[in-house]
A and B are shown apart, each in its own frame.
Chain A
């Protein structure tokens, strides 16, 4: 199923953008950076064309997709979670090609600050688009009677938490996101750049466990899992 998004729906939250640029949340942002954010936001809205694709997948089929090229970590989050899933869907979203081009053009014309701001906005926007896709899938499941108060839905992407980035190869073969203009290079780079792919897993909330002792946890710089788990528990 093709997912459509309005540019306004995927406008990222300001603080998240500033944080990604290294500006801590407790700092008063100077006026000139706020202006730059405004200019970047207008450029993002002008250039972005967000679109997505989503498809249900069985646990057995996902096992084959997840197995990928055999390069996943032996213990991984998705590896532990998906066998307990009640429903699964593969997804991919993209902001389209014009925004990455605008970023490149900005750097080439030496408008570095604006290009960097647009890059930060686009990265947050791509993540937000993926989150909206996840929420829509959850909404679709709940309309069909799934979930109740204990149901939890979270997305996971190749390249994180033990799921090797080469996992995108089988994911792309199954999902065929070329339908929305999204392709994968031999080195597993999605094009256009501001894109997100992965699996959405629905099941009882406790299945979404993040042990802090996976081998990759010690080198993780964000530990974004903690925030995501907290958000899931509070939904």
Chain B
């Protein structure tokens, strides 16, 4: 098995120490960072994502794999930046204003990073203007919003309205999710997409980003 395939396998096994060691090794050997990323780290996470999607493995396995991916990415990121290698896409995520729940958002962020996205995580209790300004200033084409209270869901509508008011809704897409959020609500507030759960949102964000 070549080393990149071993990295992928270590990701699938959730072995962060092994991923860290092997990534360091192939970097030393001069393997192209893009190859390490695509054929090692993302290749492993793609398998993990697919197995999770068909219920062969479960959330704890995905999160162990994600930790392993981060062990590789932490070493790879400076090299990718130095070589100007772009990510799969960029997204801003945050829990809306008034809401402090962030587990779901964290899981979405982890899954998106695992898929190769650059994620700007604004945390929780994020004001609508901050979400919009961050996406605008950093030219990020997707905003992902999470809410776990029915009282804070209206903030999602505010973000979308702000985008419309600033005529940014064509350039910046929105995806919403969270326990009380439904597809019907997403449609009603004019969101571009609804994220059912963390696993599903990767495919959704890829579609919104024009990656698939």
Contacts and interface: CB of A to CB of B under 8 A. Distances in A.
Interface in B40-79: 55, 58-61, 63-64, 66-67, 70
Interface size class of A (residues with CB under 8 A): 20 to 34
A94 interface: no
A21 B58 contact: yes
Nearest to A104: B102
Interface string B94-112: 0001111111001100100
Interface residues of B, number: 26
Contact of B60 (A116, A166, A185): A116
The secondary structure that dominates the A interface is loop
A103 B103 CA distance: 9
A22 interface: yes
A191 B60 contact: no
B64 A164 contact: no
Interface string A89-120: 00000000000000110010011110011010
Interface stretch (B4-12, B83-91, B148-156): B148-156
Contact of B63 (A30, A112, A187): A112
Interface of A: 21-24, 30, 32-33, 36, 103-104, 107, 110-113, 116-117, 119, 159, 164-166, 185-189, 191, 193, 219
Given A24-B55, A30-B61, 11 more contacts: A22-B58, A32-B60, A33-B58, A110-B70, A112-B64, A112-B106, A116-B103, A117-B60, A189-B100, A189-B149, A189-B152
Interface of B: 14, 55, 58-61, 63-64, 66-67, 70, 97-103, 106-107, 110, 149-152, 182
9 contacts: A21-B60, A30-B61, A110-B67, A117-B60, A166-B151, A185-B98, A187-B99, A189-B99, A189-B100
